[in-house]
Every structure is written in C-alpha cells, then in structure tokens.
C-alpha cells in the first residue's frame, strides 16, 4: 500500500519545487510529443539541444511526416536509439496528420495508438500540453523515488502509476511527478543520494539506500 505520509511528502515537495513543470522545451503539443519520444533513455538536457534544429526544419506533423528518414536519423542521432526514434517521429506524424486532422490527440486511448507512445509519454503530453490529469508520469526518477519513499513496492511503471494515482488527489497527479523528477536530479541521485540535505529525510524510509 502507498505510504500514509504522502500528504506530508507532497507539502514539502510543493514548497521545495513550487514551479515544478516539464523540463522539455516546447512551444506546442506536437513539439512536446516529439521531445518526449526523444527523451527515452536520454537526458532532457540533451533533447533540448537537439530539438531546435529538428523543429526548425520540420516544425509540425505535416512536415515531419514527409521528412526523409535518414535526415531525421541524422538530426536525432545524439539522443540514442536514433533509428527507432526517427521512425517513431515519422510514423506518429503520419498518424496525427492522417487520422487526427493534424492535431495531437487529447485522450490517452488515442495517444497510445501513435508509434513510440506509451503511458509515460502520453501522460507528459496530456498533463503539460493540455492540463489533463489522466495519470501520473513515471520515468526513471519517479520510479526510483517512489520506491525509496515507500510510495510503491512495484517495479513495473504502470503498477507504480496506479499506486500513486490511488494515493494522490487527482489535482496533484501532474505536478507531483514533475517535482519528483526535479528532486531526483537535484538531491535523490541514483548512486549518491544527498540524504543529509534532503527536506524529506524525516518522512523517508530510505528503502534501498545505505543509511
């Protein structure tokens, strides 16, 4: 069961990261979708260095759907797994153009039909582009912190998401994940968590951390 201290954890995180939001640079839902696809097993910082040139050349789904695959591969090469990511960008763009009137869909069910889109990506787009709380984003940081904080004993991202959705008020689903991401980067590092500097230390069971 999720930890009963989640209300206290939420209050501390909200104070520590009052402006927690998606760290992927974007100007519209399509750019956010593309950036999130590229962020798989890649840092947001690197993605933000790649997307300006990508979006300058292919600003929308219509343009990206027609992009030569080798060119897309070259533009996104440094994000890793570039062949799969380039193909996902192209195929998702084709679907958006052909099936959704050129607009990124606003439902989980429709987003999941796009190549390269799983629940994490769909939640990022729905939450940060449309303000729709359909679930909780679970990336590597959220997965790690949810375990360390005792919020979920699961290892599968979708099961972790279900635990967090049950424990949190729906109004907190969007910002809570972003705050965990920021906290994971700044304090609760995977290898060397800065527990002595952590504002959550009194509420944290430090599961999996050498105390």
108: domain CATH number is 1.10.340.30
| Number of domains composing the chain | 2
Residue 125 sits in the same domain as residue 87: yes
Name the pTM for this structure: 0.94
Give per-residue pLDDT as tens, 91-109: 999 999 999 999 999 999 9
Confidence of residue 5 (pLDDT cuts 50, 70, 90): confident
The number of helices, as runs of H, and strands, as runs of E, in the chain is 12, 0
Q: What per-residue confidence (pLDDT) applies to 2?
A: 44
- What are the C-alpha distances in Å from 78 to residues 38, 90, 138? 10, 17, 23
Residue 81 sits in the same domain as residue 114: yes
Find the mean pLDDT for residues 121-144.
Answer: 98
Tokens 């599961």, located at residue: 207
Looking at 90, 120, 143, 172, which residue is catalytic? 120
Residue 36 sits in the same domain as residue 113: yes
- What are the C-alpha distances in Å from 155 to residues 96, 111, 179? 32, 24, 20
In a domain, 211, yes or no: no
Q: What are phi and psi of 139, to 5 degrees?
A: -105, -165
Q: What is the pLDDT of the chain when averaged over all its residues?
A: 96
Residue 38 sits in the same domain as residue 118: yes
Last residue of a domain, one of 75, 96, 130: 130
Residue 117 sits in the same domain as residue 62: yes
Find the mean pLDDT for residues 111-128.
Answer: 98
Q: What per-residue confidence (pLDDT) applies to 1?
A: 41
Last residue of a domain, one of 79, 103, 130: 130
In a domain, 185, yes or no: yes
Residue 14 sits in the same domain as residue 48: no
Residue 41 sits in the same domain as residue 105: yes
For residue 136, give the nearest of 31, 30, 6 by alpha carbon.
Answer: 6
Confidence of residue 4 (pLDDT cuts 50, 70, 90): low
For residue 118, give the nearest of 135, 93, 97 by alpha carbon.
Answer: 135
Looking at 139, 143, 163, 172, which residue is catalytic? 139
Q: Is 139 a catalytic residue?
A: yes
Residue 122 sits in the same domain as residue 97: yes
Find the mean pLDDT for residues 40-62.
Answer: 97
Residue 173 sits in the same domain as residue 145: yes
Last residue of a domain, one of 79, 98, 130: 130
Residue 124: domain span: 29-130
Q: Is 120 a catalytic residue?
A: yes
Q: What per-residue confidence (pLDDT) applies to 205?
A: 94
Q: What are phi and psi of 48, to 5 degrees?
A: -65, -20
In a domain, 102, yes or no: yes
Find the mean pLDDT for residues 174-193.
Answer: 96
Q: What are phi and psi of 147, to 5 degrees?
A: -75, -50
Residue 123 sits in the same domain as residue 154: no
Residue 15 sits in the same domain as residue 84: no
Residue 120 sits in the same domain as residue 68: yes
Q: What per-residue confidence (pLDDT) applies to 48?
A: 98
Q: What per-residue confidence (pLDDT) applies to 210?
A: 83
Tokens 């501390």, located at residue: 12
In a domain, 90, yes or no: yes
Find the mean pLDDT for residues 18-46.
Answer: 97
Find the mean pLDDT for residues 185-211.
Answer: 94
């Amino acid at each position: 069961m999720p930890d009963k201290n989640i209300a206290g954890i939420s209050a501390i995180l909200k104070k520590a990261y009052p402006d927690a939001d998606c760290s992927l640079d974007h100007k519209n839902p399509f750019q956010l979708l593309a950036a999130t696809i590229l962020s798989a097993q890649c840092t947001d910082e690197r993605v933000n260095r790649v997307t300006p040139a990508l979006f300058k050349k292919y600003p929308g789904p219509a343009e990206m759907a027609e992009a030569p695959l080798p060119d897309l591969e070259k533009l996104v090469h440094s994000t890793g797994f570039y062949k799969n990511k380039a193909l996902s960008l192209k195929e998702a763009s084709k679907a958006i153009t052909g099936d959704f009137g050129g607009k990124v869909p606003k439902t989980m069910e429709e987003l999941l039909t796009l190549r390269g889109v799983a629940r994490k990506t769909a939640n990022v787009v729905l939450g940060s582009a449309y303000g729709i709380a359909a679930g909780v984003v679970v990336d590597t940081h959220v997965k790690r912190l949810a375990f360390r904080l005792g919020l979920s004993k699961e290892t599968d991202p979708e099961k972790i998401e279900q635990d967090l959705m049950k424990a949190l008020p729906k109004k907190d689903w969007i910002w809570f994940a972003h705050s965990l991401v920021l906290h994971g980067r700044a304090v609760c590092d995977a290898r060397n968590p800065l527990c002595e500097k952590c504002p959550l230390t009194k509420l944290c069971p430090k599961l999996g951390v050498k105390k």
